[in-house]
């Protein structure tokens, strides 16, 4: 029996109430777990034409063989289903950190597949091998915080709960699933809602086997930890420090005076040199990142995050001013999980008001269970306000009843109004924003055009947000957005670009990884496309899906650069393979795993083709927005200071990207030869039977 895996995948049919176990490796070995397993389930079981809220849709919460082990960082779980925010309801993967995924493993399950629809609000209780569908009548209508507390009061304070809030219940397309207070999986909250599934509470007392001898395993882990940097794998401090040769714009914000100011007592994280592994969790003072130095230091209690990760990235704060708005003074989240809060306002709020709006946005959204689509909703709102689109489209009475005075005052009471209006789909406004940015394009033609043409909207295609794109590595960042069906959320490339090392070193390391130093540009200093960049983009694409399958956190891996001067700042590109082999006992090289990753990428592509019923991905799906070529107006491509792209160059980029993936260049789709080589002949056959296979 392989280590890491529990060997059993749980299937719950909410229509029939049947709970069954399947053999994970017998069915899903080629797809590793997590996202890969989920894609395989969708491919095998969900017919084209199925909609996201149909009972026949599957929702998979998938973890991989490394999840729950000490392989850093194995806390995340992937959620795979048809995506309600997608205007075509295409298959897409969401993810959340926290501790829920590992708890599922300790309960003895590699993943959970949910199908059907319960005839009344329900929740699933998983206590080791005892799995029950329970009545959620008392939970339905509650926010996520209270739901979690109620379930823990029922099955134990040490259980972990994945739940939806009122947004998911109300079929708000951008509803999310959350666990452990601040960890949010976008996209699929309303899929749970459509199945009458309120929550999944898990308590696991079991064990995961590590195949490698325990002493050798300890040595492997301890050899790896010094290669980690800070959040987003920055490998130099953000300020000049005596232990470091370099410093740069990274999240290694630990320094003298960087207090966790609301800790009891307040705690100065101080200097955290790379070789002190008992301080690696202090390197990223995320409060400084999320709120600036002064406010971050003043209001942060501590930094937190996911199971098993020694780098922390969720800012936990204490702001007594929050209580007057009816929310807890204690708030926690990270990155856009807080910055969607002020995104509704124009001009952009500043100072302590900015922080307050961030905190209240998170306090509301994390309880209602709503995801801003990486801030896209707020950007859409500001744009519509500026262009008079609310006056145009909302009924006059509704428009007049919106508390615009509160908006102008940038009051948290407006935030309370807007999050509630969306969660409960109040009026045309609530319905439009509940359906989210992609569906906005179907509703308001101006928004479709604006998403495509206006840089300020930061939308890549179909209305989904860019995350991260051309500002991180030019063509590389752009290419990474093409194949996704939700905002890309890929940090493989942006982490390397943002490692903080001098460009000369990045190019050196890039040459080793991608074949040529030309693969790596400085950010916002884009040079013409080349094969090295294509390799960079292909590997970034593969590693994202691979990490979502293993699972490992794409914000801390791959370790392509490290803070270790003695290693000339090289990381260990073999790390994933080493951990996989050590844990499972199934020996794989880096090349083997990359091939598995490519298989998963190709299957996801096939899924997109099947559900879009489209053979020409290149022109119909892999769209580059107009603004990528027109912004900034007065600059030319390939000059420094911006990321404006050149059309012909971007077409060449697509050519090289598809070619290196092994896809047909004309359509950007997997060929039969490639699919058969990846052991997916049946996928090729099915695509062909639907006239979707080009080559």
- Measured between alpha carbons, how far is 327 from 344 in angstroms, rounded to an integer? 19
What character string, x for contact with another protein (CB under 8 A) and - otherwise, covers 116-155? -----------------------------x--xx--xx--
318 vs 596 by CB, closer to another protein:
318
313 vs 684 by CB, closer to another protein:
313
User: Shortest CA distance to 181 belongs to which of 277, 4, 301, 57?
Assistant: 301
- Measured between alpha carbons, how far is 55 from 13 in angstroms, rounded to an integer? 10
Burial of 120 (0-12, 13-18, 19+ CB in 10 A): exposed
Q: How far is the CB of 293 from another protein (least distance, A)?
A: 20
The answer to whether residues 480 and 541 touch, using CB atoms and an 8 Å cutoff, is yes
Q: Applying CB under 8 A, which of residues 1, 48, 207, 401 lies at the interface with another protein?
A: 207
Q: Applying CB under 8 A, which of residues 47, 265, 445, 591 lies at the interface with another protein?
A: 265
What character string, x for contact with another protein (CB under 8 A) and - otherwise, covers 210-249? x--xxx-xx--x----------------------------
217 vs 631 by CB, closer to another protein:
217
Q: How far is the CB of 311 from another protein (least distance, A)?
A: 8
140 vs 217 by CB, closer to another protein:
217
- Measured between alpha carbons, how far is 240 from 256 in angstroms, rounded to an integer? 11
Q: Applying CB under 8 A, which of residues 16, 26, 120, 157 lies at the interface with another protein?
A: 157
188 vs 302 by CB, closer to another protein:
302
Alpha-carbon dihedral sign for residues 640, 494, 348, 428:
positive
Q: Applying CB under 8 A, which of residues 281, 430, 478, 571 lies at the interface with another protein?
A: 281
Q: Does 180 bind another protein (CB under 8 A)?
A: yes
Q: Does 68 bind another protein (CB under 8 A)?
A: yes
Q: How many CB atoms lie within 10 A of CB 426?
A: 17
Q: How far is the CB of 359 from another protein (least distance, A)?
A: 13
Q: Applying CB under 8 A, which of residues 70, 292, 427, 515 lies at the interface with another protein?
A: 70
Strands lying side by side in the sheet with 197-203: 130-135, 122-127, 197-203, 160-163, 177-179, 183-185
- Measured between alpha carbons, how far is 263 from 60 in angstroms, rounded to an integer? 38
Q: How far is the CB of 232 from another protein (least distance, A)?
A: 16
The size of the interface with another protein (CB under 8 A), counted in residues, is: 57
User: Shortest CA distance to 175 belongs to which of 156, 157, 194, 159?
Assistant: 194
- Measured between alpha carbons, how far is 645 from 642 in angstroms, rounded to an integer? 9
- Measured between alpha carbons, how far is 37 from 61 in angstroms, rounded to an integer? 10
CA distances to 119, 253, 385 from 292, rounded to whole Å, are 49, 11, 28
Q: Does 328 bind another protein (CB under 8 A)?
A: yes
Q: Applying CB under 8 A, which of residues 1, 277, 400, 409 lies at the interface with another protein?
A: 277
> Is residue 43 helix, strand or coil?
helix
Q: Does 271 bind another protein (CB under 8 A)?
A: no
- The secondary structure of 39-81, three-state, reads HHHHHHHCCCCCCCCCCCCCEEEECCCCCCCCCCCCCCEEEEE
- Measured between alpha carbons, how far is 317 from 220 in angstroms, rounded to an integer? 35
- Measured between alpha carbons, how far is 186 from 189 in angstroms, rounded to an integer? 7
Q: Does 324 bind another protein (CB under 8 A)?
A: no
Beta bridge partners of 382: none
Residues of span 287-316 touching another protein by CB under 8 A: 301-312, 316
Q: Does 7 bind another protein (CB under 8 A)?
A: no
Q: Which helix (H) or strand (E) holds 179?
A: strand 177-179
At a CB cut-off of 8 Å and minimum separation 6, what does 261 contact? 297, 298, 299, 300
277 vs 348 by CB, closer to another protein:
277
Q: Applying CB under 8 A, which of residues 9, 69, 339, 499 lies at the interface with another protein?
A: 69
260 vs 370 by CB, closer to another protein:
260
Strands 130-135 and 160-163: unpaired
Q: Applying CB under 8 A, which of residues 208, 338, 450, 480 lies at the interface with another protein?
A: 208
Q: Applying CB under 8 A, which of residues 110, 169, 318, 438 lies at the interface with another protein?
A: 318
The answer to whether residues 311 and 230 touch, using CB atoms and an 8 Å cutoff, is yes
228 vs 617 by CB, closer to another protein:
228
Q: How far is the CB of 583 from another protein (least distance, A)?
A: 9
Q: How far is the CB of 5 from another protein (least distance, A)?
A: 12
530 vs 554 by CB, closer to another protein:
554
Question: Could you please report the per-residue DSSP string of 475-487?
Answer: HHHHHHHHT-SS-
- Measured between alpha carbons, how far is 332 from 257 in angstroms, rounded to an integer? 22
Q: Applying CB under 8 A, which of residues 99, 173, 506, 535 lies at the interface with another protein?
A: 99
149 vs 348 by CB, closer to another protein:
149
- Per-residue tokens: 172: 């708000």
What character string, x for contact with another protein (CB under 8 A) and - otherwise, covers 626-665? ----------------------------------------
Alpha-carbon dihedral sign for residues 597, 603, 605, 607:
negative
Please, how many CA atoms are within 13 Å of residue 110, restricted to the half-sphere of its CB? 31
Q: Applying CB under 8 A, which of residues 101, 168, 204, 637 lies at the interface with another protein?
A: 204
Q: Which stretch binds another protein (CB under 8 A): 33-41, 43-51, 257-265, 618-626?
A: 257-265
Fill in the DSSP letter of residue 265: S
- Measured between alpha carbons, how far is 155 from 151 in angstroms, rounded to an integer? 6
Q: Does 263 bind another protein (CB under 8 A)?
A: yes
Residues of span 593-612 touching another protein by CB under 8 A: none
Q: How far is the CB of 564 from another protein (least distance, A)?
A: 17
The residues of the shown chain that bind another protein, judged by CB under 8 A, are: 68-70, 99, 106, 145, 148-149, 152-153, 157-158, 160, 180-182, 204-210, 213-215, 217-218, 221, 260, 263-265, 267, 277-282, 301-312, 316, 318, 328, 330, 332
């Amino acid at each position: 029996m392989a280590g890491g895996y529990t060997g059993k995948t749980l299937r719950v049919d909410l229509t029939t109430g049947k709970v069954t176990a399947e053999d994970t490796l017998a069915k899903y070995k080629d797809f590793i777990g997590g996202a890969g397993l989920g894609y395989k389930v969708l491919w095998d079981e969900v017919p084209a034409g199925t909609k996201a809220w149909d009972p026949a849709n599957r929702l998979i919460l998938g973890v991989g063989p490394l999840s729950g082990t000490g392989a850093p960082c194995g806390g995340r779980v992937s959620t795979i289903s048809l995506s309600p925010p997608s205007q075509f309801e295409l298959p897409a993967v969401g993810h959340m950190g926290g501790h829920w995924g590992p708890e599922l493993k300790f309960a003895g399950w590699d993943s959970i597949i949910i199908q059907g629809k319960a005839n009344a609000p329900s929740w699933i209780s998983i206590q080791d091998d005892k799995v029950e569908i329970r009545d959620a009548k008392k939970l339905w209508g509650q926010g996520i915080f209270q739901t979690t507390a109620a379930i823990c009061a029922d099955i134990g304070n040490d259980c972990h709960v994945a739940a939806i809030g009122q947004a998911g219940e109300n079929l708000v397309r951008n509803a999310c699933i959350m666990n452990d207070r601040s960890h949010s999986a976008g996209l699929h909250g309303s899929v749970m809602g459509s199945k009458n599934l309120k929550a999944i509470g898990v308590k696991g007392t079991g064990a995961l086997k590590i195949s490698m001898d325990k002493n050798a395993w300890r040595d492997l882990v301890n050899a790896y930890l010094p290669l980690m940097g800070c959040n987003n794998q920055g490998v130099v401090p953000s300020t000049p420090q005596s232990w470091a040769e370099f410093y740069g714009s990274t999240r290694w914000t630990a320094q003298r005076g960087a207090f966790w100011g609301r800790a009891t007592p307040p705690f100065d994280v101080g200097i955290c040199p790379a070789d002190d592994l008992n301080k690696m969790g202090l390197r990223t003072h995320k409060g400084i990142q999320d709120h600036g130095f002064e406010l971050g230091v003043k209001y942060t209690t501590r930094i937190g995050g996911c199971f098993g990760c020694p780098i922390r990235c969720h800012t936990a704060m204490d702001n007594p001013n929050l209580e007057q708005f009816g929310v807890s003074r204690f708030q926690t989240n990270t990155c856009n999980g807080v910055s969607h809060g002020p995104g509704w306002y124009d001009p952009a709020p500043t100072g302590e008001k900015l922080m307050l709006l961030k905190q209240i946005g998170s306090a509301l959204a994390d309880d209602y269970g709503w995801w801003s689509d990486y801030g896209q909703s707020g950007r859409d709102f500001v744009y519509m306000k500026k262009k008079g689109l609310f006056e145009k489209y909302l009924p006059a009475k509704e428009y007049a009843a919106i508390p615009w005075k509160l908006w102008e005052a940038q009051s948290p009471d407006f935030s309370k109004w807007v999050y509630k209006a969306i969660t409960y789909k109040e009026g045309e406004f609530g319905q439009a924003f509940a359906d989210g940015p992609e569906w906005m394009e179907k509703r308001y033609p101006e928004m479709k055009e604006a998403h495509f043409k206006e840089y300020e909207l930061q939308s890549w295609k179909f209305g989904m947000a860019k995350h991260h794109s051309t500002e991180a590595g030019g063509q590389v960042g752009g290419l990474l957005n093409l194949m996704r069906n939700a905002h890309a959320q890929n940090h493989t490339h942006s982490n390397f670009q943002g490692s903080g090392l001098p460009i000369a070193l990045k190019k050196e390391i890039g040459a080793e990884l991608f074949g040529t130093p030309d693969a790596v540009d400085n950010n916002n200093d884009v040079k013409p496309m080349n094969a090295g960049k294509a390799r960079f983009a292909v590997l970034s694409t593969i590693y994202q899906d691979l990490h979502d399958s293993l699972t490992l956190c794409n914000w801390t891996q791959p370790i392509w650069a490290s803070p270790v001067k003695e290693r000339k700042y090289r990381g260990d590109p073999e790390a994933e393979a080493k951990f996989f082999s050590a844990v499972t006992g199934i020996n794989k090289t880096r090349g083997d795993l990359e091939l598995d990753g490519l298989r998963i990428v190709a299957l996801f592509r096939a899924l997109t083709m099947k559900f879009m019923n489209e053979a020409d991905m290149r022109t119909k799906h892999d769209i580059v927005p107009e603004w990528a070529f027109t912004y900034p107006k007065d600059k030319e491509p390939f000059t420094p200071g911006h990321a404006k792209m050149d059309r012909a160059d971007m077409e060449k980029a697509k050519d090289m990207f598809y070619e290196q993936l092994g896809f047909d260049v004309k359509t950007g789709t997997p060929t039969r030869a490639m699919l058969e080589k990846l052991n997916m002949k049946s996928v090729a056959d099915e695509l062909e039977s639907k006239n979707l296979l080009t080559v």
